[in-house]
Amino acid sequence: MTYATAARAAAAAASRVLDLLRRHPALVIGMPTGDTPVPMYRALVRAHRAGRADFSRATTFNLDEFAGLGRADAGSYRSYMEAHLFDHVNLRARSACVPDGRSADWRREVARYEQRIARAGGLDVIVLGLGRNGHIGFNEPADSLQARTHRVALQPTTRRANARLFGGQWQAVPTHGVSMGVGTILGARQVILLVTGAAKARMVARALTGPITTRVPASLLQAHPDVIVILDRAAAAHLAADLKVPRSQSRR
Ligand code: F6R
């Protein structure tokens, strides 16, 4: 589905999540960070304040975290989530899950994270952004990808894209991250891919209509049976016209 502006696209993603949450109060949601979902989180917080969203029985699992960072670090994804969602809605603290980047034993941490997702009954829905290099979560383009939550070396493009969280210094961005694997992501019962901005337009087209390849990790989403793609017009610019029809006119 294509919307005129990034704000409308984000609002559409939020309303999908809110619909699911209303129907399934114990919803298990996979969550992204980054610039793209900021207005989606704003919409979720607004809905909660207006009495239209109850997170008290929901559980969230973030896609990824920087290795070595945690709650006390301003640049961590945990801090991002607290600032944009966790501190503003009635999600229980124990149900707001982010990989622990500070764990001394990352092998144990990645196994623990997978177990927590499994114990929660798996992800009902996951909201994804798209990296300029085609990554989803921190699953970077490579000859092979990992299925489960794992430690990953971040590519320079990803470190540069996150520099804003570290005073604009890309060298200050951690070299590694912890990320859900592509199997964890594809295991979600529904995927919402939210992408906005002209800078992502070529990658959107490659991911959605190009060959499925580990060199474009988002292309693996083509194999998922229930993906909702939410774009703004700029991000949809390189897609063929028949892939851009608004929802009201689409065949789905
Ligand atoms: C972050 C994540 C990443 C981002 C992607 C897009 O948790 O999983 O894959 O979704 O890098 O980031 P933005 O939205 O900042 O362009």
pLDDT for position 240:
81
- Find residue 99's DSSP bridge partners: none
User: Does 248 reside within a domain?
Assistant: no
For ligand 1, say whether the CB of 114 is within 6 Å of any of its atoms.
no
Of 17, 34, 14, 29, nearest to 197 by C-alpha is 34
pTM for the model: 0.95
Query: Is residue 140 among the annotated active site residues?
Result: yes
| pLDDT above 50 (res 223) | yes
| pLDDT above 60 (res 57) | yes
pLDDT for position 69:
97
> Over the stretch 88-144, which tens digit does the pLDDT of each residue have?
999 999 999 999 999 999 999 999 999 999 999 999 999 999 999 999 999 999 999
User: Does 249 reside within a domain?
Assistant: no
| pLDDT above 80 (res 248) | no
pLDDT for position 125:
98
For ligand 1, say whether the CB of 34 is within 6 Å of any of its atoms.
yes
User: Does 227 reside within a domain?
Assistant: yes
Q: What token pair was written down for 22?
A: 């209303």
Buried b (16+ CB within 10 A) or exposed e, 117-151: beebeebbbbbbbbbebbbbbbbbbeeebbebbbb
Mean pLDDT value across residues 52-59:
98
d(CA 204, CA 196) in angstroms, rounded, equals: 9
Neighbour tally for 213: CB within 10 Å: 14
User: Does 36 reside within a domain?
Assistant: yes
> Kind of pairing, strands 64-66 and 176-179?
antiparallel
d(CA 28, CA 89) in angstroms, rounded, equals: 15
Q: What token pair was written down for 148?
A: 């489960």
| pLDDT above 60 (res 20) | yes
d(CA 149, CA 134) in angstroms, rounded, equals: 18
Structural domain that includes position 179: 2-243
CATH number of domain containing 14 = 3.40.50.1360
Catalytic residue, chosen from 133, 176, 224, 238, is 133
For ligand 1, say whether the CB of 184 is within 6 Å of any of its atoms.
no
User: Does 252 reside within a domain?
Assistant: no
User: Does 168 reside within a domain?
Assistant: yes
User: Does 186 reside within a domain?
Assistant: yes
The number of distinct structural domains making up the chain is 1
